[in-house]
Amino acid sequence: MPLGTPAERLDEDRALVAAAQTDLEAAGRLFDKYYADVFGYVYRNTLDRMVSQDLTSNVFLSAFRHLGLFRWRRVPFGAWLYRIATNEIRMHYRKLKRRAAANSEPVSPHLASESPTAAEMLAATEDYRLLHRALLQLSLKYRTVILLRFFEGKSIAEIASITGKARGTVKSQLHRGLERLQSALEQLGVRAL
């Protein structure tokens, strides 16, 4: 758990981002600080470890390539990374749809990897798999806000900053997304408590 007040952590991030613009070691510390969070977010969107590793690498490549453009305005650095990650996930699913259309084969971008590792199979419970299966049935806009809110622990304001949407829109998407998630779970045979 990070130490210090939010203001102290923000000051630390500002210094680290400034140093990372010219120092590879500082860039490495920035990468180490945020990699696990970004990877986790991407993985919960794709449920495919290899795709998640590739997309997370793309996030950091893009972030470091454009680090000089980052400004401390309304978006904290971590939220900026989540915004880049959200865009990478969207591009990934668009590419899958284009490939499916080009191949004329019915390929669903919403299916999880077909070959999870033994450790992943043991760690995942049936409820966990059903929840993720239901999440993958949601459109990306609903899945994104649900994952950010309930899996990443982001506030409505942080989600609005990450997605570039108004707070009211985020609340509305959360509400609609949760309704759709409940319906998807019911279709999978899971009854609400």
Mean pLDDT of 90-114: 65
Residues 104 and 130 in one domain: no
Q: Which domain holds residue 172?
A: 125-193
The pTM (predicted TM-score) of the whole model is 0.69
Mean pLDDT of 125-137: 77
Q: Measure the CA–CA gap between 25 and 158, rounded to whole angstroms.
A: 28
Mean pLDDT of 99-125: 52
Better-scored residue on pLDDT, 18 or 9: 18
pLDDT value, residue 142: 92
Mean pLDDT of 108-112: 49
Q: What is the CA radius of gyration of the chain?
A: 18
Residue 107 lies in a domain: yes
Over 60: is that where the pLDDT of 113 sits? Answer: no
Its sign, for the CA torsion 156, 159, 161, 163, is negative
pLDDT value, residue 171: 94
Mean pLDDT of 137-149: 90
pLDDT value, residue 133: 84
Residue 117 lies in a domain: no
Residue 118 lies in a domain: no
Q: What is the pLDDT of residues 47-84, one digit of tens each?
A: 889 999 999 999 999 988 888 777 776 668 888 899 99
Residues 31 and 1 in one domain: yes
Residues 192 and 144 in one domain: yes
Its sign, for the CA torsion 73, 75, 80, 83, is negative
Mean pLDDT of 143-163: 89
Residues 92 and 136 in one domain: no
Structure tokens at 152: 């990443």
pLDDT value, residue 85: 94
Q: Distance from CA of residue 152 to its chain's centroid?
A: 8
pLDDT value, residue 3: 62
Q: What is the pLDDT of residues 171-191, one digit of tens each?
A: 999 999 999 998 988 888 877
